[in-house]
A and B are shown apart, each in its own frame.
Chain A
């Protein structure tokens, strides 16, 4: 299977572990990832917060580049990139006035973005793994036999009509994948609560406060790890664990894994290929797994 790949800025930098595990798992599942040529940043939260036209034009430029390269499907593992690309595609289809402005900004022929948005579909990493779920189940050599809390956050599930999420309030797509990898997802209450996203730098204590509620509930449900599919969720729960511990008034060693790392471990890939040593909260998998009922 061949598919377009939009790594986005964070998978080459602060979420290199996510990028490494996506590439390693794709290879193991015989998925060929083809980079979108000359891709640019999607604008993320900042364009969204400050400049609506740019927040559509920047991802639209990525869609145009993918279409020129003949890619009909692009996987964007970063949840923020995925959401911006999918939102831009949606906006281009629903709002002709905005589409015309974006065409001017990108300096492309009038009307060209409408056909392009039809052509290029955007997938997130859960969509990609779901397609390979039979192959995952067949190739599991070391079942990830742990109780985990699947944390979806915001951008993979909302707005539902833009991202096509399975269930907006109580998604289960990642839980099903964890089961395929041999794990046991716990039922918990913070699956789709916000981690504070881009407030990580301008308001770190607030991100600590929001993350504290998430870690608190996952720990109370006896999860041995939190599983995510978003670089911002990961850095706010892993890299910002100090702020979370400060907010809770106690330390927690609950590790946060990307879904691709969980699947990779189950497929028998070495932890170093999955970027596990780059986490701030150590992923200590040497101790025996708790019995899974």
Chain B
């Protein structure tokens, strides 16, 4: 699909800034998105996500910095670039009087090499609604038609600005399936969202933005030092035992008033083995045994707390 090598950056941003009057919405962002990557831009409302994505799409002018999208500056308004990108805007209605099929036919006509209409309808899961007017679709179905319209030109790069905001859980799940399909097609996807589970579910890599700056970046599993963060082992002390009865080699175990015990370790395998071995030897059951790392939600709340509330 793309003629570029896999190592090529689909998007490269250096020192991007954008001010509205005295308010600086984006304060020096550096970012690279590789070809074929599903990238999520995660942050609270007002953090600068839409400003950044609309600069990449060519809708807004930047105040400073360098931006390259598929090798060109989107501010130049090059029609050749618009052949290669697909855009799902945050707020954008469809022509309510055209059917799903007609809507896609209309937009397909704008591109040199559009995708087949019927295949695109199936890809976004609107096969049963193909001849329904867009105005009669549910919110989730309209959003999937938005994705279909963005895909109809067979773009290399797709921008999705908060594609599931305001959805009920089943509509979100369906939209996620569609977006996951895009990754499988080898499209580069730049997604903005303020839902952590969405970023975790869909993205190969996530950047968290707060108050116009990137505060963390990496694969969802490693974000904010999650890879190295200490693991906690939780359980309830068996009846008739106390902390002193546990093997001394476990190290410090904290306990709560109802016998909850927490052990914080860097490498969980060995202490977990010692703990369960001790329980088996003594014929005890470790109620509520749980091994957990900090969730992405913990990381996100921690990182965006200051910036998010300031705006």
User: A and B: partners?
Assistant: no
